[in-house]
A and B are shown apart, each in its own frame.
Chain A
Amino acid sequence: DIQMTQSPSSLSASVGDRVTITCRASQRISNFINWYQHKPGKAPKVLIYAASTLQGGVPSRFSGSGSGADFTLTISSLQAEDFATYYCQQSYSTPLTFGQGTRLEIK
């Protein structure tokens, strides 16, 4: 099984900050990685798919990069509505696996 390791597990930041979350796969997965935002009591929402493609309707302050085994999600200027938990997920092989999550909190 492919393990996805996210860092940090939690992060405190302020509105307007630039934030980067990293995800490392236990083996090379090309660019078969997706990023999701999850708020309590809500359905998770895809932000980025195939490592760097922005899902329609997602603000352009979100971006993804990387290939192989190391990936990043960047939020260029945090907004109040961005405080949530973020997950990476590999779609390279079954079982599909998620990172453990990064909880983004208000400083």
Chain B
Amino acid sequence: EEQLVESGGGLVQPGGSLRLSCAASGFTFSRYWMSWVRQAPGKGLEWVANIRQDGNEENYVDSVKGRFTISRDNVKNSLYLQMDSLRAEDTAVYYCARHQGDVFDFNWFDPWGQGTLVTVSS
């Protein structure tokens, strides 16, 4: 079964840092682009960042550029999100998701993990 499992969420103070992890299983992780998507409380889904199969291309939503860093380890079948200079508005459930299809053609998110909650508060 193809599966993604996030971990690393928790409570952090404004200005603090947190590193999220996503463990992939059931498929060849190194063959796929991967993304992080978040959902703030009571809000909709927001794409955060994605990364190419070899880790040599990354894209970010403007609101996290310079503060968040996406990375991957294809040996450990894991995706990461390093979050620095955290703000209250970063409070959300963070999902990792695989890009299915061709990123330069039709592509969609499938599967998704169950999410990990990040709360930024003093």
Contacts and interface: CB of A to CB of B under 8 A. Distances in A.
A65 to B, nearest CB: 16
B109 A34 contact: yes
Contact of A43 (B44, B50, B112): B112
B58 to A, nearest CB: 10
Contact of A49 (B62, B108, B112): B108
A101 B45 contact: yes
A46 B45 contact: no
B108 A96 contact: no
A98 B47 contact: yes
A98 B45 contact: yes
Nearest to B109: A46
Contacts of A38: 45
Given A95-B59, A95-B61, A95-B62, A44 B45 contact: yes
Contacts of B50: 94, 96
A34 B108 CA distance: 6
A94 B112 contact: no
Interface residues of A, number: 25
Given A98-B47, A99-B44, A101-B44, A91 B108 contact: yes
A96 B47 contact: yes
A76 interface: no
Nearest to B62: A95
A8 to B, nearest CB: 14
Nearest to B115: A43
A84 B106 CA distance: 25
Interface string B82-102: 000000000000010100110
Contacts of B46: 98
Interface string A26-47: 0000011010101000111110
Contacts of B47: 89, 95-98
Interface of A: 1, 31-32, 34, 36, 38, 42-46, 49-50, 55, 87, 89, 91, 94-101
12 contacts: A38-B45, A43-B95, A43-B115, A44-B45, A46-B100, A49-B101, A49-B106, A50-B108, A94-B50, A95-B61, A96-B50, A98-B45
